[in-house]
Structure 1
Amino acid sequence: MRVLPQGPRIDMTTPEPSEAAIFNSARRIHAPEDRDAYLDRVCGDDRGLRTRVEALLRIHDEEPTFLQSPAEEFDEPVGEGPGTVLGPYTLLEQIGEGGFGVVFMAEQEHPIRRKVALKVIKPGMDTRQVVARFEAERQALALMDHPNIARVFDGGETPAGRPYFVMELVRGVPVTDFCDQNHMTVRQRLELFVSVCQAVQHAHQKGIIHRDLKPTNVLVTLHDGTPVPKVIDFGIAKATGQKLTEKSLFTGFAQMVGTPIYMSPEQAEMSGLDVDTRADIYALGVLLYELLTGTTPFDPERLRTAGFDEVRRIIREEEPARPSARVSTLGRAAATVTTNRGSDPKHLGRLIRGELDWIVMKCLEKDRTRRYESASALARDIERYLADEPVDACPPSPAYRLRKFLRRNRVPAVAASLVVLTLLAGIAGTTLGLVEARRQAGLAWSAQANESEARVRETQRAESEAAERVRTAEAEAEARKQEKEAKEQLALSSSVIDFLLNDLLAQAASRAQADRGFEPKPNLTVREALDRAAAAIGDRFKDRPRLEAMVRQTLGNSYRQLGEYDKAIAQIRQAADIRERALGADHVDTLSARHSLAVAYRAKRQLDDAIRLFDQVYRARTASLGPEHPDTLKTLNGLASAHLDAGNLDQAEALFRQVYDARLKTLGPENPYTITALHNLADAYQRNDKPAKAVEIFERIRAIDLRDRRPDHPEALSTLNNLALSYWRMNRYDKSVPLLEELLAATKKVQGDGHPHVLHVQANLGVNYCDAGYLREGIRLLEEVHRDGGKYPDLRWVDLQLVLAYVRAGRAAQARPLAPPIELEARHKPPPGGLGLASVLSLLGSVSADQGEWVDAEAKLRECLSIRESKEPDAWTTFNTQSRLGGVLLGRKMYKEAEPFLRQGLAGMKERESRMDVGDRFNLKLALERLVHLYDAWGKKPEADRWRKELEAENAVGKK
């Protein structure tokens, strides 16, 4: 982003008389008509001021104890001003004022000298509710630590007992003004907006909803010439999962909180519906709308002059114009708006039309369940747009728009059916069918016209014309068949939507649960809702098998995503069986269900079943669709993944190569699907002990990422991780460690400290440090992950790595407490008695041996040796286990029993020395040392001297 000059600071003061003075005067006027006349006079056309004062008066009238103590009778509050000293802070000038607080620029003298912003409650406004809200803002800011959120430094009370807090002084201007003053392009505005989203995501992760996001609460300042947005003013923030303060932060029932222009429909509803983080997503959508178009979704002047209830109705019911459409209606303002964006009206409209329209309108959905699920999801979609990748947002389907239209207008059934016919192209999968049907019909009609023309001109070609008529009739019949199928598919999809709305989503309401005979549960989980919906199927669709199959497959896929694999398999298997009976084994819908069933088998680790079913579906799709059809390749990719999971590495590698070659041929080298296939192939190389090949591919993909993506893009980070892992497998720690350090910094920036992805990367870096010989640094990182990642099951592997690091550092005593849970988990992990268990037993045997617990060490190593002799009898690790078991017997002074294990173990390792990595050769030295110790302890000096010479020779080789 180019360096931009800083614009002037915006004056944030509010015109007098102040809100506090108006409130204090009006509350003493008891006659309603006199009070209204007074408010008409002092508020004038300022509807926002009038609304806020009336809200305070309603609370005052309805709650006699609203004030903590009787308010003083005064016309104008007397409070702090320039020169006032509060603790170590001297107030310099007032820089902002809101309904309840005043913001000053202040100077701190000690312990450091700096300028800060100090916010204090106005005199006369220190009511219970206002104090709680003020305290909530301080607590909200204190919870957060993000470069794009103003930091809180300190807090205290004035001599009069009114609270204040001290925060970072943000010398910035509202984000919209900054962008306009510096003529920032749409791309630059979007890049700045991504940082705002990341700040809001940080607040949400801390359990804080801002509830008043708007340009004046997003200020932009320059740091080293780079624009940096700062989110400020958490004065009406709301906690999602914890108390913001020990005092009660209470937003009154039917109280509208926020700024109407940026307020979500649920905030305007004032119905008691709990406002969650998606209200901030709506406000971000309004802000993005304004950054793109120079105006807000609803006319600010109209909202300012409308009555209270009309404002609420507009926000809740009216659909705003798409941003691209709004640009075309700007009139005389269009020239200024487009110039500020380095564009012209025609080009700006084209630029916004499509994906940016979709992104903004997804944020502005009236139904909050259709908005982005998080601010980070919104940021990722903006990044996809900037990287020319497909975005998640898309226009609402015609079926959804039809449903909204019918509910809003209650049109008669006949009219509704006509609307349905006009929206046939809307359901996913139906579009292609109808387009093809219409194309075939068009070809048929065109052929008929050509036939008539040809008959007039060339009567001698009667035979060919007759054949053309036959083809025309066939085309017409095929078109009618496809159109009928499209209509049936539409009806099926609409019925599935009805089922999901009425039997699944409607259960969010307690009344709907009671109507279905269930005990109302206000916190019904998704799993419980799915169980109830599945039970409701029964014989409901016995006469509509295709609909039942679609519903069951939908429920099954939902169960799978929740990890309920048995329930998923049961539902999807029924769907597949129903479709096979109704449509045939090779019908496209039957194969779709069988593919989903194979995916569920793989998720449950029933890999034999997954491989068998993937293979069946792949063969059937190849026969009906062709070997290079996207669905065929999707199934082939699933088959390869199942083989990879099962350890069939050669088969997996070959199949991933087949997928990649096909996508390279049909889509080109840099299509995202081709790159994904290449990524999978590299992963197979890595798992199949071919790290050099994996490195070559991951370096190619990373070059593409660096060219086309932001450094912190999720796909770029994934590539970086796999590249580092491949170098690690090659013992190239000089490459893997810097890559992982870069990855850790980038992942922290995107996810924040403590996120499981961050902990995974930190653990990988710790392992690499240990393997590179930096045990102290590696153990420190692994200990941090062990401490912070205990609640994440996917991070349990770190405990094993920490034990290994302790053993290598000679700190086995610290490893001992970690051993029992590690062994227990290894014994329960499939496959039973596998090499994974052998590795754990080998390591824990070392821990016991280092502690002198010889009996326990012997038991573990004997079990480990038994597994390895069964699973990999020719591996050098099996013979190393023999030598280590001999060492344990030596510790027990069982010299005769130890000798064969020690000699056979060393001989087997030396025969397989060429298979050992450089980093594993130290095991040969240890095996020789054990033999020397055996014969020394046994009193067999000649044998001890013989092996001592071999040990010296091995040490000499090691020094070279």
Structure 2
Amino acid sequence: MTPLSPFAADWPAISALLDEALGLPASAHAAWLDGLSGERAAHAQALRTLLAHRASVETDDFLREVPRLDLADAEPPGSGLVAGSHVGAYRLISELGRGGMAAVWLADRSDGLMKRRVALKLPRIVWGDAFAERLAREREILATLEHEHIARLYDAGVDALGRPFLAMEYVEGESIDSYCLAHAPGVHERIGLLRQVMTAVAHAHARLVVHRDLKPSNILVTRDGQVKLLDFGIAKLLEGERTRATALTELGGRALTLDYASPEQIRGEPLGTASDIYSMAVVAYEVLAGTRPYRLKRASVAELEEAIASADPPLASDSATDRRLARQLRGDLDSILNKALKKAAGERYATMDAFAQDLQRHLDGKPVQARPDGLAYRAAKFVHRHRLQVAAATGVALALVAGTAVALWQAREAARAAATAEAVQGFIESVFDANTSDQADPVAARATTARELLDRGAERVDRELASAPEAQLRLYKLMAQMYVGMALNEPSIALERRSLALSTRLYGAHSDQALRSAVEIGLDLSSLGRRDEALTVLLQADAAARSRRRDDDAVRMMIDTALAMVYVSADPPLGLARARSAAALARAQGVSADGIEALFTLGENARKAGALAEARQALVDAAAWIDLQGKTGELHMVLSALGAVQNDLGQIEAAGATLRRAVALSERRNEPAFRATRFKLARYQYENRLLHEALAAADADVAWARRAGPEEGEVPSAVMANYGRTLVAYGDAARGLAALDEARALLPRATTERMGPLLAARADALVALGRLDEARADVERALATTARAGGATVEAVRAVRRRYWLAAGRPEQALQDFRDHPQQAGETDTAPLRLRRQAEEAQLLLAAGRDAEARSVATAGLAALDRLPERRFFGVAEAQMTAVLGQALLREGRAAEALPVLQKSLTLHLVQYDPVHSPAVANARRALAEAEDAARRAGTGTSPTERR
């Protein structure tokens, strides 16, 4: 028996009237009841009873404090809550999710009034007046909110069983954190999503509504990148009689998500819009850095409450594991998030609009309103956290150099630190003052771009701060990071070189500061393809580190990792040795961002050297460390490397799945590192002769490569080269050669190790086009260039040379070379590779006139192909071996047997190759025509001589 059972017979009419009454202020209920007439008047007493019952639980300011729900006496959910059940006018389809208080179902209307699917919110634990009151409150709130980024309210009420419900817009999307994990958008795109949320919350604040439960699961992102904000279920109205509290405040349990709660929520204080600003900052921190701002040792609720209430979160740039992402967060974004996460509500942004506008100013390259904390504030915080250390180290003063959102601690005397701070802040302010209207030509000043401001500032540093070298050093690093954020690597490297020179002068060539600066320069030079320059800088740092009394493990790991990255293609054995050293140090020190990079580098180097099991383990460990840190910024890079290793191990299907996952994580990014992930999938498709798939997906990446500038490094050339190789393999050698020439033009001048494979691919195209003299020259240069490369690279060049020898009429030489360089036993000797080598051997034997041997090898290869579970990856090998078998039978005078084999060969060739341009297709057609002619002659009993 529920409180509504007496009204069950007339419930549809009563429910509709009750909805109307609940839409009015309580003070208007009496007049509204007295004004009922006709059939409506017949339900006046029932409505009066229901409204009085509702009023009986209204005693104090609604949700003034965090409500607590005592679930000890909670009844089990009402019966019949299964798919197909009816709640009011709605039929339940499937449960979408559940929280601490409510379940949400996908439902549709069953009364025929309209066709619409909705998200139906129902109490999960108890059907009672308290929850009915809560849902009525949510209905009142949502009815006032009409915004493109807020899920709409369609209907609300209580059904005949006393079950309150809300029918809301059904949003097909994924939570913002899951969306960022799956699609890995860039920082600018993430900020765009956050600003959509902020506009929705600001809309609610303007209507005096606080959300009170902002968290990723309440923020959905649709397929087209639009945000929808959900669940105002515990929102508070800020004025009018609707701020009254109810008996809900007497229930136990929290109606909030602790991880995103503000300090005032933790303390149970009255809440305002500043609480939403804090929770929005926690969401923004997680979306931008890939992790939440509080790192706990025990992960207990008590510790989390203490952290939220009193602990200062680390800078987002310090929490991010992705090195490039961390660089983009330093400065403005660190400062913006720091301001929004202040413990004191009054120190945060005044409004959500102000928070959103500062993010937009960052995107526009304009000065942001958030400023770094002052020296006194930071010093007070430091002393509070480290009272014992400060008392013991009386000679050490804390200093802060305030720049654009970056704080630098200096363990130097306070006077010098204060002077440095003042110099840096004054300089940065002067740089950006040039963009204000307080200039001789205000219009021209406002039109100055961020790049122009930085260029001018960089020119002034040495001249204006010659007497403040610490300030100079900080500004070099700060401005270099700004240039990187704009993808301007050349001016960034120039400033990093000045930083290295100054660090060396201030602290010595063997100092951590100088060595870390050198590593940064080396990595940036390497990413631009300037490997020789990178190697010079890194080897100097290596020698300086080794000459110290104690070679610091953290710095040593960074140097070895950087050198391994440079050596990975140029000298694989040296690269592997450095990578192993760095990975051993990483494992000894435990999980860290630099350790993840060391393991990733070991994976790349071990694969290049053919140590595939070691490579796989290193990459699996790197992925596990990323998971332990709760960050996914570089996961796509680790997965793409792991997919390449799986492919080398012959695990082709698994490799494709891993690479596709990597691409899904990076598909919304445009930086070279993320294009490199897509390139690895394209290379996998080429290597496994999934040529149609590779070409179908190539257009966007090729267009990007063609418009990329030199600051993008060697990735554009690699993308274009793979496209050219794929076209050549498909049979369109003319277009392939043009693409390869574009790749050659895009290759940075300083990059030498990629030139060999590129020349070999170009020679392959020239062979197909019959330009053999040019092909020979490219093959010889390719062999000379790849002499020290890994075995797989050298063998690929030799295979091109064998095809050149075949075209030049030297099949015996090609066959001898094939046999002189057998596949080495070990991890790389896989069934797929053996099958492809069988196809090549059969072709070489046939070209050398050894028909019986060719037929035997082709027959054995086709039998082996039938036993492979991943047959779809060997269409080209099947076409080649089928053609060899048919032609061998034809040469042996067995035209009747050859004819169906060659018919199948042509079909296979048409599926795999360009039907118009491919020489392989032309050869297959020619062989079939010869077999048909031979079969006809055999049928007439005439010899070829007699017919001629």
User: Scaled by the length of structure 2, what TM-score is found?
Assistant: 0.52
CA distance in 2, matches of 1:653, 1:362: 50
Q: Deviations over 1:400-435 (max 9, x none)?
A: 999x99xx9xxxxxxxxxx9885573799x999998
Check conservation: 2:519, 2:558, Cα contact below 8 A: no
Q: Structure 2 vs 1, CA of residues 703 and 836 (structure 1 numbering), >3 Å: closer, same or farther?
A: closer
Choose from 601, 611, 619 the match for 1:690: 611
CA deviations over 1:182-241 (Å, ceiling 9, x no partner): 9xxxxxxxx96746999999797699957641399799xxxxxx9876689x9xxxx9xx
Distance change >3 Å, CA 930–CA 558, structure 1 → 2: same
Partner of residue 506, structure 1 = 433
1:747 Cα deviation after fit: 5.5
Shift of 1:728: 1.4
Contact (CA 8 Å) 2:282, 2:292: kept in 1 or not?
Answer: no
Aligned partners of 1:492 and 1:827: how far apart in 2?
46
Whether 2:42 is the aligned partner of 1:115: answer no
- The residue aligned with 1:837 is 755
* Match of residue 783, structure 2, among 848, 864, 868: 868
Query: Is it true that 1:534 corresponds to 2:458 in the alignment?
Result: yes
- How much does 1:928 deviate? 6.2
Q: Which residue of 1 aligns with 2:579?
A: 656
Q: Deviations over 1:42-100 (max 9, x none)?
A: xxxxxxxxxxxxxxxxxxxxxxxxxxxxxxxxxxxxxxxxxxxxxxxxxx99xxxxxxx
1:909 is matched with 818
Q: 1:605 to 1:440 in 2, by over 3 A?
A: same
Report the CA distance shift for 1:217/1:718 in structure 2 as closer, same or farther (over 3 A): farther
- Are the equivalent residues in 2 in contact too, given 1:530–1:555 (CA < 8 A)? yes
- The whole-number CA distance in structure 2 between the counterparts of 1:785 and 1:592 is 34
Distance 1:380 1:621, change over 3 A: same
Q: 2:416 aligns to what SS in structure 1?
A: helix
* Contact 1:724–1:740 (CA under 8 A) maintained in structure 2: yes
Query: Using a 3 Å threshold, how does the CA distance of structure 1 residues 420 and 491 change in structure 2: closer, same or farther?
Result: farther
Q: Secondary structure at the match of 2:254?
A: helix
Letter in 2 for 1:854: G
State the AA in 2 paired with 1:115. Answer: R
Amino acid at match of 1:495: A
CA distance in 1, matches of 2:841, 2:697: 31
CA deviations 1:735-779 (Å, max 9, x no partner) are: 21232344455656xx49x99888765654454455445544444
Matched, 1:816 2:719: no
Contact 1:108 1:116 in 2 (8 A): no
Partners of 1:574 and 1:868 in 2: CA distance: 40
Q: Counterparts of 1:144-293 in structure 2 under 5 Å? A: 194=177, 209=196, 212-214=199-201
Shift of 1:662: 2.7
Taking the aligned partners of 2:787 and 2:387, their CA distance within structure 1 comes to 58
Name the SS for the 2:444 alignment partner. Answer: coil
For the structure 1 residues 425 and 627, does the alpha-carbon distance in structure 2 shift closer, same or farther, using more than 3 Å as the test?
farther
Q: Which residue of 2 aligns with 1:884?
A: 803
Q: Which moved more, 1:375-384 or 1:560-569?
A: 375-384
The 3-state SS of whatever aligns with 1:689 is coil
Aligned to 2:290: 380
Contact 1:807 1:847 in 2 (8 A): yes
1:713-754 deviation per Cα after TM superposition (whole angstroms, max 9, x unaligned): 445444433321210122320321232344455656xx49x9
Q: CA 1:741 to 1:301, structure 2 compared with 1: closer, same or farther past 3 Å?
A: same
Which position in structure 1 is the counterpart of 2:393?
440
Matched, 1:525 2:449: yes
Query: In the alignment, what sits opposite 2:658?
Result: 739
538, 545, 550: which is aligned to 1:614? 538
Cα 1:401–1:834 change in 2 (3 A) is same
In 2, Cα distance between equivalents of 1:688 and 1:531: 43
Matched, 1:300 2:287: no
Segments of 5+ residues of structure 2 without an aligned counterpart are: 1-15, 26-88, 91-106, 119-144, 158-163, 166-173, 210-215, 300-312, 317-333, 351-372, 397-409, 865-948
Amino acid across the alignment from 2:450: V
**Following superposition of structure 1 onto structure 2, how do residues 380-399 of structure 1 map, counting pairs within 5 Å?**
380-382=290-292, 392=316, 396=338
Distance 1:837 1:171 in 2: 63
Name the CA distance, whole Å, in 2 between partners of 1:611 and 1:837. 18
SS at match of 2:116: strand
Which residue of 1 is the match for residue 924 of structure 2? none
What letter corresponds to residue 653 of structure 2 in structure 1? Answer: D
> 1:633-680: CA deviations, max 9, x gaps?
434433433333x62333333233323333433x34x45554443333
| Higher relative contact order structure (alpha carbons within 8 Å, sequence separation ≥ 6) | 2
Question: Kindly tell me: are residues 729 and 661 of structure 1, through their superposed partners in 2, closer, same or farther at Cα, counting changes over 3 Å?
Answer: same
Mapping of residues 25-174 of structure 1, within 5 Å: 114-115=115-116
SS in 1 for 2:774: helix
Tell me which amino acid in the other structure corresponds to 1:440. A
State the one-letter code of the partner of 1:526.
A
Q: Counterpart of 1:630 in structure 2: which amino acid?
A: A
Mapped to 2, the partners of 1:632 and 1:740 lie a distance apart of 32
- In the alignment, which of 630, 647, 656 is matched to residue 728 of structure 1? 647
Q: Deviations over 1:455-501 (max 9, x none)?
A: xxxxxxxxxxxxxxxxxxxxxxxxxxx97535423431342233223
Q: Deviations over 1:904-928 (max 9, x none)?
A: 3321221111248555564675466
User: What is the letter of the counterpart of residue 506 of structure 1?
Assistant: D
- 1:859 maps to 2:768: no
SS in 1 for 2:497: helix
**8 Å contact kept, 1:557–1:572:** no
- Name the structure 2 match of 1:825: 743
How far 1:829 sits from its partner (Å)?
Answer: 1.7
Indicate how the Cα distance of structure 1 residues 630 and 348 shifts in structure 2: closer, same or farther if over 3 A, else same. Answer: same
SS of residue matched to 2:570: coil
Distance 1:173 1:755 in 2: 47
Q: Is the 8 A contact 1:572 1:597 kept in 2?
A: yes
CA offsets 1:307-329 (integer angstroms, 9 cap, x no match): xxxxxxxxxxxxxxxxxxxxxxx
1:114 alignment partner, SS class: coil
| Residue identity opposite 1:114 in structure 2 | K
1:629 Cα deviation (Å)? Answer: 4.8
Distance in 2, Cα, partners of 1:767 & 1:426: 55
Match of 1:66 in 2: none
Residue 489 of structure 1, aligned match among 411, 417, 422: 417
2:201 aligned partner, one-letter code: K
C-alpha distance after superposition, 1:165-196 (max 9, x if no partner)? xxxx866899xxxxxx99xxxxxxxx967469
Sequence identity (%): 13
Q: Distance in 1 between matches of 2:498 and 2:217?
A: 57
Q: Structure 1 residue 559: deviation in Å?
A: 3.3
Q: 1:383 to 1:638 in 2, by over 3 A?
A: same
* Separation in 1, partners of 2:524, 2:241: 51
Aligned residue type for 1:214: V
Please give the TM-score of this superposition, normalised by the length of structure 1.
0.52
Judged with a 3 Å threshold, the aligned counterparts in structure 2 of structure 1 residues 715 and 604 are, in CA distance, closer, same or farther, namely: closer
From 403, 425, 429, the equivalent of 2:379 is: 425
CA distance in 2, matches of 1:698, 1:217: 46
Does the CA contact (< 8 Å) of 2:622 and 2:638 recur in 1? yes
C-alpha distance 881-211 of structure 1, shift in aligned 2 (>3 A): closer
Contact 1:835 1:868 in 2 (8 A): no
Secondary structure of the residue aligned to 1:542 is coil
Residue aligned with 2:393, SS: helix
CA distance in structure 2 between the aligned counterparts of 1:762 and 1:586, rounded to whole angstroms:
40
SS of 2:466's partner is coil
Following the alignment from structure 2 to structure 1, what is the Cα–Cα distance between the partners of residues 412 and 599? 40
Distance 1:629 1:426 in 2: 32
Q: Aligned with 1:720: secondary structure?
A: helix
